């Protein structure tokens, strides 16, 4: 293992290796699939309330300046397009993935200035890509956004070394040298390694890796590497002569074109940051003396190096409010639940048999929501009865076998939920319940229970009954959505298994029929020559009527033919 591999291994073991939330991974996969319809992308987004809020917040912001308001995720996705959605998702997710508490302890590093530079580089990269007619504008934006991501990993893992680097160095060349000497790798190398670990495109990783290379070397690279290199240079407010010379050498851009690229970029960054709830601060050396500040910049001008959460802005002193920490904690919990949910859904798909599927469902709601009281009522093959069932490990297993109710009944809330295919809550609360409903609550020894329909292909398959948790707390709206997601997946798996069994029965019946038909054809084919042989034997008997010995032998042959 070489020196770099040892460092990467240390980052992985330190817990500072940022992983993308599961829902973001699915969203990126969906956005990369050109044949995936946009409504499916909208469906993925709608499963995460925070991401849904961000998409609607941006599409309705002053950045787009639309006259009407979008309230539908699907409409917003259709308007923005898959690539813009991908950029929103990555920006918001990356902003929350890193531990702000670790980063803020490093002096001389500004979290807000980092995001200012990243968003400005992304904005300029997209403008440059458009100017040189690069095919994928959003890939350029994403590359610009992530070009310095390695710095955050190094700060989180090597805070003391990085603080020394910030205190002792000025230019970017010295920073790279210091990173190499004190840590063993540069932030460019770590950023490229991280992006490859995330399984994003290799050219994106190269754009990150080479964004501090000499201009002469960059001039002979692929367009994306050139775009990010020049966008980074342009975003650092360097000497105009250097910028113009580099723009000409690397991309063949004229002075007027470079000036047009930079015009209005600052305002665009401020609008994007404000729309996504990202705290930013423009570096002091880059500000003009009389520059007008908008609300997003002014709010964080005099703050510390921290950043706001998804839904809150930093106060004037830059202190992250308690609500922001709460929101971040809730986000982490949701990411954890989504990750677990993904594992359970995958396990459901692999279960194979209905009882195994039921066991996976029971385990998932127990782990995710502390729901230990679970009963299933599944439709029988004749589609006239709902029969109680559970997994083999469920404490209600024995009792469930005696819980049978006809689908024709209408007084029971359970049966109504089955027919209506709507989630319902069964509770006493002074209401008059049917005998079945009362008995079910008595089985759970609970005041109320949740009824979740099981369906697939618009066909009802049964219902799930969930007793209230021991804590007595109701499920939140987001938790309820997760339960329904698992129930839908369970319904699909049960439906596929039932279809498979029906097909196997049909195939077996057809196979037997085919064997029978083949046997009849075979018998028919055998009978024809045997009949002919029998006729010839009869003719021989008539010709050899005086030969008794031969007659006896011919008779034996004839009997055997008839037996065949």
* Model confidence pLDDT, tens digit, residues 425-460: 888 776 778 888 888 888 888 888 999 999 888 889
* Model confidence pLDDT, tens digit, residues 382-411: 888 999 999 988 988 888 888 888 888 777
Lowest mean pLDDT of 66-80, 116-130, 184-198, name the range.
Answer: 66-80
Name the range with the highest mean pLDDT among 52-61, 138-147, 451-460. 451-460
Evaluate whether 447 touches 428 at the Cβ level (below 8 Å): yes
Q: Is 507 left (phi over 0), alpha (psi -120 to 50) or beta?
A: alpha
Higher pLDDT, 385 or 165: 385
Domains of the chain in sequence order: 17-97 (no CATH), 99-320 (1.10.3210.10), 330-501 (3.30.450.40)
Stretch 344-350: mean pLDDT: 73
Phi and psi torsions of 320, nearest 5°: -75, 120
pLDDT of residue 213: 87
Query: Taking the mean position of all CA atoms in its chain, how far away is CA 263?
Result: 37
pTM score: 0.47
Query: Taking the mean position of all CA atoms in its chain, how far away is CA 503?
Result: 32
Stretch 20-45: mean pLDDT: 73
Q: What CA–CA distance (Å, rounded) separates 451 from 423?
A: 6
Tell whether the model's pLDDT for residue 59 goes beyond 90. Answer: no
pLDDT of residue 193: 86
Cα distances (Å, whole numbers) of residue 107 to 7, 110, 161, 163, 305: 23, 8, 11, 6, 8
């Amino acid at each position: 293992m070489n020196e770099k591999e040892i460092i990467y291994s240390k980052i992985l073991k330190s817990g500072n290796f940022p992983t993308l939330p599961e829902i973001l991974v699915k969203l990126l996969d969906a956005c990369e699939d050109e044949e995936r319809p946009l409504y499916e992308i909208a469906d993925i987004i709608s499963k995460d309330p925070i991401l849904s809020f961000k998409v609607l917040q941006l599409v309705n912001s002053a950045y787009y300046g639309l006259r009407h308001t979008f309230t539908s995720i699907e409409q917003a996705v259709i308007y923005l397009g898959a690539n813009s959605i991908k950029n929103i998702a990555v920006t918001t997710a990356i902003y929350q993935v890193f531990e702000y508490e670790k980063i803020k302890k490093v002096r001389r590093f500004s979290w807000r200035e980092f995001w200012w530079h990243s968003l400005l580089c992304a904005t300029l990269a997209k403008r440059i890509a458009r100017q040189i007619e690069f095919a994928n504008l959003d890939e350029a934006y994403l590359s610009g956004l992530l070009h310095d991501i390695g710095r955050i990993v190094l700060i989180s893992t090597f805070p003391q070394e990085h603080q020394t680097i910030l205190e002792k160095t000025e230019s970017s060349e010295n920073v790279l040298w210091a990173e190499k000497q004190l840590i063993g790798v540069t932030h460019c190398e770590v950023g490229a390694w991280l992006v490859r670990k995330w399984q994003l495109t290799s050219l994106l990783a190269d754009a990150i890796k080479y964004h501090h290379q000499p201009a002469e070397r960059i001039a002979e690279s692929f367009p994306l590497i050139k775009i990010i290199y020049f966008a980074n240079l342009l975003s650092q407010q360097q000497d105009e002569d250097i910028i113009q010379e580099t723009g000409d050498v690397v991309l063949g851009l004229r002075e007027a074109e470079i000036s047009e690229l930079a015009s209005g970029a600052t305002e665009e960054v401020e609008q994007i940051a404000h729309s996504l709830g990202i705290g930013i601060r423009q570096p002091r050396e880059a500000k003009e003396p009389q520059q007008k500040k908008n609300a997003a910049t002014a709010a964080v001008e005099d703050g510390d190096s921290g950043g706001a959460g998804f839904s809150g802005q930093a106060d004037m002193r830059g202190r992250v409010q308690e609500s922001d920490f709460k929101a971040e904690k809730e986000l982490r919990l949701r990411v954890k639940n989504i990750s677990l949910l993904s594992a359970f859904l995958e396990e459901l798909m692999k279960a194979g048999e209905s009882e195994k599927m039921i066991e996976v469902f029971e385990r998932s709601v127990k782990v995710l929501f502390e729901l230990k009281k679970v009963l299933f009522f599944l439709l029988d093959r004749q589609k006239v009865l709902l029969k109680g069932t559970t997994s083999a490990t469920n404490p209600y297993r024995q009792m469930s076998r005696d819980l049978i109710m006809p689908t024709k009944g209408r007084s029971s809330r359970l049966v109504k939920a089955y027919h209506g295919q709507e989630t319902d809550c069964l509770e006493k609360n002074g209401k008059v319940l049917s005998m079945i409903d009362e008995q079910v609550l008595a089985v759970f020894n609970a005041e109320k229970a949740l009824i979740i329909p099981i369906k697939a292909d618009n066909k009802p398959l049964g219902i799930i009954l969930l007793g209230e948790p021991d804590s007595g707390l109701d499920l939140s709206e987001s938790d309820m959505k997760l339960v329904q997601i698992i129930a839908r997946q369970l319904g699909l798996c049960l439906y596929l298994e039932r279809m498979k069994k029906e097909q196997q029965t049909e195939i077996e019946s057809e196979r037997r029929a085919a064997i029978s038909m083949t046997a009849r054809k075979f018998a028919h084919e055998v009978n024809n020559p045997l009949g002919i042989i029998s006729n010839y034997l009869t003719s021989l008997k008539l010709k050899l009527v005086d030969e008794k010995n031969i007659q006896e032998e011919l008779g034996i042959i004839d009997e055997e033919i008839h037996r065949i």
